[in-house]
């Protein structure tokens, strides 16, 4: 219900809105746990993790695997730059809601790095898993993001 107060409007939240917030948080947590569980199941029942760490039989496309490693390391570096270096060391006030004006370039670089990492790792695993490599990498990425977001 909105009421007028000296030309400005405001909305009073009812108890029903608080219940909706709790249920959406529960759904969000359920999705996170689901992605984490799918990632763990995928890593447990396939040799994806073993191939990622130790590929003795040279099944993977090493060039694209190293490109994926490098772009992922650069991605993590950008995230650390945005979340720790700028606010803590440089004492820069970052408005994450208005990132287009405050940290536009690092966000763009981070986005390019994660896309390059996804595509190159999918190509690296193509000789082993074929088309399913895109799905496997996607599930692992979403599981990792969900694990960090918990």
pLDDT value at 29 more than 90: no
Distance CA(72)–CA(141), nearest Å, equals 11
Query: Do residues 121 and 65 lie in contact, with contact meaning Cβ atoms separated by under 8 Å?
Result: yes
| Residue with the two structure tokens 């390059």 | 116
Whole-angstrom distance, CA of residue 79 vs CA of residue 63 = 24
Give the H or E element holding residue 77: helix 62-80
**27 band by pLDDT with thresholds 50, 70 and 90:** low
Residue 120 or residue 94, greater confidence: 120
> For residue 4, what pLDDT band results from cuts at 50, 70 and 90?
very low
Give the mean pLDDT of 23-45: 81
For residue 10, pLDDT beyond 70: no
If one compares 108 and 28, the residue with the highest pLDDT of the two is: 108
Helix H or strand E encompassing 44: helix 15-45
Tell me the whole-structure pTM to 2 decimals: 0.74
Q: What was the pLDDT predicted at 134? A: 93
Q: 3-class SS at 3? A: strand
**How far apart are the C-alpha atoms of 55 and 137, rounded to whole Å?**
17
């Amino acid at each position: 219900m909105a009421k007028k107060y000296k030309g400005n409007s405001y909305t009073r939240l009812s108890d029903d809105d608080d219940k909706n917030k709790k249920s959406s948080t529960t759904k969000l947590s359920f999705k996170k746990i689901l992605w984490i569980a799918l990632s763990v199941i995928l890593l447990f029942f396939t040799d994806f993790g073993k191939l990622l760490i130790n590929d003795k039989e040279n099944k993977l496309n090493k060039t694209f695997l190293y490109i994926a490693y490098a772009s992922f390391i650069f991605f993590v570096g950008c995230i650390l730059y945005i979340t720790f270096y700028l606010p803590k060391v440089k004492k820069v006030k970052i408005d994450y809601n208005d990132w287009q004006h405050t940290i536009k370039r690092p966000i763009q670089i981070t986005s390019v790095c994660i896309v390059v990492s996804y595509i190159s790792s999918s190509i690296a695993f193509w000789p082993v898993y074929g088309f399913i490599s895109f799905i496997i990498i996607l599930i692992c990425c979403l599981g990792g993001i969900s694990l960090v977001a918990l």
